[in-house]
Amino acid sequence: MPDAPARKPSRIQLRNRKRILDAALEVFSRHGFRGATLDQIADEAGLSKPNILYYFDGKEAIHVTLLNQLMETWLDPLDHMDPEGEPVEEILAYMHHKLEMSRAFPRESRLFANEILHGAPRMAPHLESGLKPLFMRKTTLIQSWIDGGKIASIDPRHLIFSIWSTTQHYADFDAQVRVLMDGEKGVLDGADTYLDTLFRKLLAP
């Protein structure tokens, strides 16, 4: 006898699941995995702890779900670097996209950074199977642009690391940036202009 088709979750179930994940993202980005508790997530979501456990097996299951969702978002801009495009503009477009992600997804950036700082215990398989092959393809592409004399002779790996560190800094160290910039408005607009100039000069053949 064939298995009965899985029942689709109701709108209330989908809404509650999203509510839990949004709350968990806030808690994890603020306290890290170790400092976060199910009670904090339940309070943030406005749900009971048993209700949280109806949807997820525990804190780690929620954390892994968030990380799985994050990886697709995080890899997409690098994946879209076009081999047929103009090299400098393709690399700068990637940098601008990453900076915009710091503006739009600061909590996700801090979630990712916290996981990496703790040795990537839950994300290591994704780094090996998802990020590393993509990273190798794009560094090979950038090296081909270097070999063709289209951009300066630099190490493509360190170029990508530099883009990550300079753009994600504004999300991961937001509290420090706000203090040092005296709460100045439009900080990321200024960063956008500055980093465009910085990398454009670096990449000039």
Q: Give the residue numbers spanning the domain of 35.
A: 1-56
Could you tell me if 71 and 145 lie in one domain? yes
Is position 15 within any domain?
Answer: yes
The mean of the pLDDT values for the chain is 92
Shared domain check, 115 and 195: yes
Residues 191, 116 share a domain: yes
- Convert the pLDDT of each residue in 54-76 to its tens digit: 999 999 999 999 988 888 888 89
Nearest-angstrom CA–CA distance, 92 and 90 = 6
Cα–Cα distances (Å) from 136 to 78, 131, 143, 152, in that order, read 11, 9, 10, 19
How much is the pTM?
0.85
At 123, which CATH number?
Answer: 1.10.357.10
Spell out, as residue ranges, where the chain has pLDDT lower than 70: 1-7
Q: Are residues 122 and 184 in the same domain?
A: yes
Q: What is the number of structural domains in the chain?
A: 2
Same domain as 145, residue 52? no
Residue 9 within a domain: yes
